[in-house]
Every structure is written in structure tokens, then in C-alpha cells.
Structure 1
Amino acid sequence: MVVLATKCYVNGGARERALDSLGSLIGNEIGELDASWTVRVREDDFVAVDLEGGDATVASNLLAESWGEITPDFEDGEPYVGTLESWDDAGWTLDAGDDTLVEISVDELGLGTGSPTQIRDRFGVVQHTPLRFVYGETPRLADATRDRLYDWTREDGSGRVNVNSATRGEVRATVNRAGHAEDIVTVERLGLLEQSIVCPEGTDPPGLLASIGPYLQSELKCVLTS
């Protein structure tokens, strides 16, 4: 069994579609291995994959590498993954599963000046986004996460629109429905229900956000390149 570092926090038909999407992704990744699997959502909304078969351990390792893994134990100085749960004047709080909330102070975000809310807005980090952190007496964002967020503001193109509460397929369909299929490069998967729409030069991310916003019951945030 492996607990993936991504949540399924929608209900009803949206949950069924999300889990169907995840099942397809798992099948693409480990379908050729000698492993059968079932997917379930824990009480804390993290997704667990139960595996059986001769290649169950290999399959578990592959899924943990792709999605990140929620673990019950932590060692100082080691990297782990949590999802952005909340934020306030003190910093960001990550949910690392099993009732473990990791408080990362604004000084340990390592993302420049501003309040935690201003930093979240600047880098377009929507709630529930999986983020790597280094565990310890004073937890901090991992260098890999800092680098990834900074790269969003420096890459070629106009920027990004980040979305939660929707699968990659739903976001793609929404962009098409709003008539902006030609105005994006791709939709990058951040988590099961967290996506990043990559915009080329000439696309206005705030304008794209305003256009697709009415079609999505999501938090949407822009990332603008410098």
C-alpha cells in the first residue's frame, strides 16, 4: 500500500471522475507490471493505493516517485511532501497526513519578501497544491519546491493560471469550451486536482482566468513572468 501525496477533496460525480482519471493514470504507469490495485480515499482526503502481486513493491515505489508519498514517520533533515492546507500572517501550513500539520514560517519559505498571503499570490499557489518540505525543528520549503516556483516566474511565455478542484481533463475541456484552446501551451498536472495552465507569449493570464473562471468551481491564481 502507498499513500499518494495528493488529495481527493471533491464529492459526488466530481469525485467519481477524479478517481476514474487517477485509475487511468495508475494504469498507464504500472499496468504492465504484475500488480493489481484498488484506490480509496482516506478520511483525511489523501488517496491510498492498495497493491497486490509479484511486482507490488516495484509498483508502490513507482507511484511514490511520481506522486510523492505520505509517510507516518519523519526524520530531521529529510524531504517529504505535504499539501497546502492554510496560510496566515505567520506562514504556510502543510498537511502531511495522519493529523500532521507542518508549520512553515514566512522566513523559511525562501520565496522573497512579502506576507505569506502576498507570496502565495505572487507564485500562484492554490490550496491543496503538493509541496516538498524539509522536516525538522524549524521546517522549511525544500529547495526543489522553491526552484520550481521561481522557475514559473522566469520561464518563456506570459505566465500561468493555476487551478484546483478539477482534473487535468476537466481543465483542458474548460479551456476549449471558453474558446482559448489556441491560447495555451499545455496543462501541467501538479496533483490529482491541482493543475497549471501554461500560457505562451501573447496570452494574458488574468484575461484567461476571467474567461474560464465562470466554468470552474475552483480557486484560480495567476503567475506572471518577469
Structure 2
Amino acid sequence: MVNLLQLSTSLLAAAGLVKRADNPSSHHVQVPNIGNDALVDWGYLETQKIFNGTGSNCTKCLQGINLGKYITLQAPTVTPQILVKLCTLYDWQDDCDKWQGSDITKGNPGKHVSQVFTIMDAFGLDGINLCYWTAPNTCDAAPVPEPDLSSWWPEKPKNLSKIESTYNETFNVLHISDFHLDLRYLPGQEAWCDAYMCCTVESSNKKALAAGLNHTV
């Protein structure tokens, strides 16, 4: 069974859909403005060159994430299309259309993976750990940071006096836990949709539409 996250990182392990800027200290990628269709074809061919090129697997993986980041920032619909073509070429799985980003009923992990790339530090802890956990034989695990929290709270006081009971007094507490971010969330879209994730431009409710109800506000 193919791990979709492994495939997503491996894809863009391709690393070279575009060349880096002349400044070697910069990770910014200059994506050519040639239109989406041409960019898909060009990126697909450049990816194959990278797979056959030199460099460590870790470097390719990090460059691939960085590449996916800048392609998505310029042309959000392109990266999933490249994923579909590469899936077909390298036979990642039987149904490569699942990597497309236009029809939610087919699944669209390619679109979500691309969106995550846009907020990552590709060459920092984000990229290294994504490669380590999802693309075997690429990067070693990055060391876990050990933050110093000693300045966050004062020292615990000694000989505390007994706290008086509040009897029947009540107070409100807001506890936020395990929340999820969807970069494609759009206010006003269908929240009771036929297939996840809801609240995106593809979301719809067939029964509501058949009843003449508009799914947007």
C-alpha cells in the first residue's frame, strides 16, 4: 500500500522545476510566467531531469518542497497537476487522479500538500522533518529544539497561605485543543457538504441544490 504523504514529498523531491535565483544564499525560486498549461509541462520535464541528476536524496527532498512552495504561491492549481503526471509516470498508485485538485469527490491530497508547502521553511526544521517522516532514505531526523521556559513564570512561592473556598461562585474557562487549519477555507461556502473537506469552493450539498437552496451566502 502506497503512503500518500511519502509520494507527495517524493514528488517534489524532484527539486528542480525551476532554477534558484543567482544569489546562492537565497532560497527564493524564480518561477517563469509562461501560463499554467506550459508550466505544468515544463515542470514535469524538469522534474525528471532532477530525479536522474546528482545530489543527495535529502537535498533533493528539501529543494522539492521549496520548489512546490513557490510554484503554488504563483499558480495554486499547477502543483497537483504535476503530481498526477508524475504519479502516472512512476506508477505510484493505481488511481493517480486522486492527486488532482479540482474535483473533491475524487480526493485531492495534492492540493492540500501544495498549500502546506507554502507556509513551510523548506530548508529548516519543517522541511527536514517532513522528509524524514514521509520520504524514507532522504534526510536524518532534525534535533528536537529544547526551549528555555524558565522566564515564563516566576519561582513557586514557599509557605503558601490556604486558599479560601469560593463556595458557589463560578467562572468561565475557554479550553482550545486539537484544532485544525485549512488554508483553503472560504467563508460562505457549504458547511454541510457531501464530501470532505467542507467550506471550500468545491463543496456542495446535492439535496440542498435539488431543493432550490443556494449553498453560498
Larger strand fraction of residues: 1
Question: Into which bin does the TM-score normalised by the smaller protein fall?
Answer: under 0.3
Larger helix fraction of residues: 2
Bigger CA radius of gyration: 2
State TM-score, norm by structure 1: 0.23
